[in-house]
Copies of this chain bind each other. A is one copy, B any other.
Amino acid sequence: MTDPFIQSLNYLQSRSELNLTDLIDWCSIPSISSIATHQPDIQKAAEWAAQRLSQAGMQNVEILPTQGHPCVYGDWLKADRDFPTILFYGHYDVQPALDLDAWVSPPFEPQLRDGRLYARGASDMKGQALAEIVAIEAVLKITGKLPLNVKFLLEGEEEIGSRHLRGFIKENQYKLTCDYAIIIDAGMLNPDLPAITYGLRGGMRIFLEVYGPCTDLHSGVFGGTIHNPAQALIELIAGMHDEDGRVTLPGFYDGVRPITESERLDSARLPIDETYLLEMAGVAELWGDPDYSPYERTTSRPTLEVLAIQAGLPGEGVLNIIPAKASAALSMRLVPDQDPKAAYQSLIDYLQENAPPTIRWETRFTGGGRGVLVDRNTPYVKAMHRALQETWGTAPVYLRMGGGIPVVGMFQQELGIESVMTGFGLMDDNVHGPNEHLHLQTWQRGMQALVRFLFEAAM
């Protein structure tokens, strides 16, 4: 009799077209969590996932309410008590896709081109979540069981900062009890190099509004005597960085954990050099604090970024006005051991010190997660290491990631468990931007690695 592991891989192989069809089907649902009118799509995408989990053989599948968008849960808990329980995490919500002109094919009409599936959510992360489901399915169908206990959780608010997930975890602590979590929302640097992520940035969004005159004013009649709120906002934001790209907010860098010598040595071996980043970003020159390498700047150092700014009416229809208000959305990316509250306070302190008396300002924030560093030496990380190494034929690299995955900190704090973070999305998948896509060959390798992991983790 053939090795059940090999049989499971063959089963996966035989289902590859069906799996792709399933992914296309799921990606056709515009489950945009940030836009209220997409609420029915959120529900539809959750139901799709629940149905697919049941079909895969998972049990106790249910759609559980939260204070916001619902979670999808399922489990398979028939392995011996000696075996660990692992929790697979994913999310079924996606970013909006508003710059439609920039999309070659519509974001919610998935299209295959050059071995990639183009669709919003294909890489981030319906593709990743489906890889988890079909890996479990393959082992269940072939062996009739799983080599360890598995729980499965998909949330619907990852792209809006997992707003209600902490409350949900607290309320469902028993249901979610496990030994560790697997999170495949992290990614890879290139298709040939598997990766395990051990660091994440946390952070928050800050909305900053500047108010000037009581109403829009004629720019000719009043220009020269009124501090234009757009200009005041611009002046305030311009002062938040120095010429080298360092953040000037007082105390902003307090608590930042220094990069260790061993991390510096590790990261020097990563294929992330200036050329790589220039090509990924399509820019002529990089930017940022010259005391740190580009990799360090995007992963181990905090940042303050302008996500959006708006005042007046842009474009040809622009009005001859001094706008009454101007708004910006800023993003702080924070690293261990920065305190998010203190970082926010550093912005408030800066504004109190620098905002001129000619305008009024207001701020509020959403999110506020800490940066995370997980232990690289747990048996769970080692099992994933073996699974990736065997599948790719090369040892995975260890990465810190520039983005955040809020659930990792929540699992640490609310369930007391660590997470193993990996994933099969690539740096140039353009997640969050136009023409997001999934590299199908890497996706299939990812499923194989997950099948292998299920066997490895049980050993």
Contacts and interface: CB of A to CB of B under 8 A. Distances in A.
A301 B220 CA distance: 11
B320 A432 contact: yes
A135 interface: no
A225 B358 contact: no
A231 interface: yes
B401 A319 contact: no
Interface in A297-316: 297-298, 301, 303, 305-316
A459 interface: no
Given A287-B225, A310-B310, A215 B434 contact: yes
A1 interface: no
A321 interface: yes
Contacts of A315: 308, 310, 327, 329
Given A220-B333, A301-B224, A215 B403 contact: no
A6 interface: no
Majority secondary structure, A binding face: loop
Interface stretch (A19-27, A47-55, A91-99): A91-99
A311 B313 contact: no
Q: How many copies does the complex hold?
A: 2
Interface in A218-258: 218-228, 230-231, 234-235, 237-239, 241, 245
Given A102-B215, A214-B281, A230-B308, A314 B287 contact: no
Contacts of A238: 231, 234-235, 237-239
Contact of A216 (B99, B305, B311): B99
A227 B294 CA distance: 12
A403 B221 contact: yes
Contacts of A312: 306-309, 329
B215 A430 contact: yes
A99 B297 CA distance: 41
A306 B358 contact: no
5 contacts: A221-B427, A224-B303, A238-B239, A283-B358, A285-B357
Q: What 3 A-B pairs are tightest by C-beta distance, nearest first?
A: A214-B282, A220-B403, A308-B312
Given A216-B432, A227-B285, 5 more contacts: A215-B430, A225-B286, A231-B238, A234-B309, A306-B311
